[in-house]
């Protein structure tokens, strides 16, 4: 069973590299959004340093949102999802494989590029490592919660906007504790507690996503 899981995850990752790679577009969007802030609020260095962590997190959430509708849409339209539903792997596992592929193709590139944007925003030196840790702990939750949203809107023709409305409020806890964790590390007040809460959010979404998203996909296939 496990090799089917990897087979599907690998296939999704490969598809996102074909024809106008999703990853590069998401990363480009991420960079552009962050670059807009210095242009909008002015090049004053202290101001940029103060808002840098929040801006990077918000931009990461928005970029993550951008590729969510790809998780199920193409598979639903070409009938692949029907075959998955009939296959030997339970839909719950299919959903996790898809969320994993989304994390690898979207969240991981965002994490890798975020230090560069930190420099651009004049972020405090002490914030770089904590930012990466916080994103590593929190980003799986973004992909997992996003998968639920994608499964709920899969049968709608233009579900993109609705998807954003559904999912963004659910991203708020990740944003709050993500920013809190990095800022606490910088100020030396201990960023571990918020980091652990981020981990808890990820684990919680890992526990509910398979059931919720699989149920939604079943409804969509009916």
Partner 1 sequence: MSTIKEFSATNLCVDRGDRPVFKGLSFELPAGRLLKLIGPNGSGKSTLLKTLAGLIEAKDGDILVDGTSLIAEDHIAECITYLGHKNALKREFTVYENIEFWANFWGRSDKIDQSIQDMGIGYLRDTPVRFLSSGQTRRTALARTLCHNATIWLFDEPTVGLDDQGLDLLAKTMQRHLEKGGMIICATHVPLGVPDHFTKTLNLADFSIPMSELEEQWL
Q: Which residues bind partner 1 (CB under 8 A)?
A: 4, 7, 11, 15, 18-19, 74, 77-80, 82-83, 85-88, 221-222
DSSP class per residue in 13-58:
HHHHHSSS-HHHHHHHHHHHHHHHHHHHH-S-HHHHHHHHHHHHHH
**Do 108 and 143 meet the contact criterion of CB atoms below 8 Å apart?**
no
Of the pair 44, 82, the CB lying nearest partner 1 is at 82
Task: Output the smallest distance, CB 83 to partner 1, in A.
Answer: 5
Three-state SS at 88:
coil
Residue number, 74 or 129, with CB nearest to partner 1: 74
CB of 117 to partner 1, least distance (A): 30
CB 160 → partner 1: shortest distance, Å? 21
Distance CA 132, CA 213 (A): 28
Smaller CB separation from partner 1, 7 or 129: 7
CB of 76 to partner 1, least distance (A): 9
**Sequence-separated (6 or more) residues with CB below 8 Å from residue 57:** 175, 178, 179
Q: Which is nearer to partner 1, 184 or 216 (CB)?
A: 216
Q: Shortest gap between Cβ of 74 and partner 1 (angstroms)?
A: 8
Q: Which is nearer to partner 1, 74 or 187 (CB)?
A: 74
Tokens of 17: 């590299």
167: Cβ contacts below 8 Å, ≥ 6 apart = 65, 68, 145, 146, 148, 149
CB of 14 to partner 1, least distance (A): 8
- How far, CA to CA in Å, does 220 sit from each of 24, 148, 208? 30, 13, 19
CB closer to partner 1, 96 vs 182: 96
């Amino acid at each position: 069973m496990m090799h089917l899981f990897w087979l599907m995850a690998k296939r999704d990752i490969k598809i996102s590299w074909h024809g106008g790679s999703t990853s590069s577009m998401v990363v480009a969007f991420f960079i552009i959004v962050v670059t807009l802030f210095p242009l909008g609020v002015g090049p004053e260095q202290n101001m940029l340093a103060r808002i840098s962590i929040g801006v990077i997190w918000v931009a990461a959430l928005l970029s993550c949102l951008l590729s969510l509708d790809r998780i199920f849409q193409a598979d639903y339209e070409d009938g692949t999802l029907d075959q998955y539903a009939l296959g030997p792997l339970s839909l719950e596992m299919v959903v996790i494989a898809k969320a994993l592929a989304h994390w690898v193709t979207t969240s991981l590139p965002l994490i890798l590029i975020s230090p560069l944007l930190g420099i651009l925003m004049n972020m405090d030196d002490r914030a770089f490592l904590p930012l990466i840790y916080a994103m590593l702990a929190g980003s799986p939750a973004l992909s997992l919660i996003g998968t639920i949203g994608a499964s709920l809107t899969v049968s709608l023709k233009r579900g993109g906007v609705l998807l954003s409305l559904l999912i963004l409020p659910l991203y708020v806890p990740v944003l709050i504790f993500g920013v809190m964790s990095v800022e606490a590390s910088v100020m030396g007040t201990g960023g571990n507690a918020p980091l652990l809460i981020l981990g808890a959010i990820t684990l919680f979404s890992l526990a509910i996503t398979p059931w919720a998203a699989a149920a939604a996909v079943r409804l969509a296939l009916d």
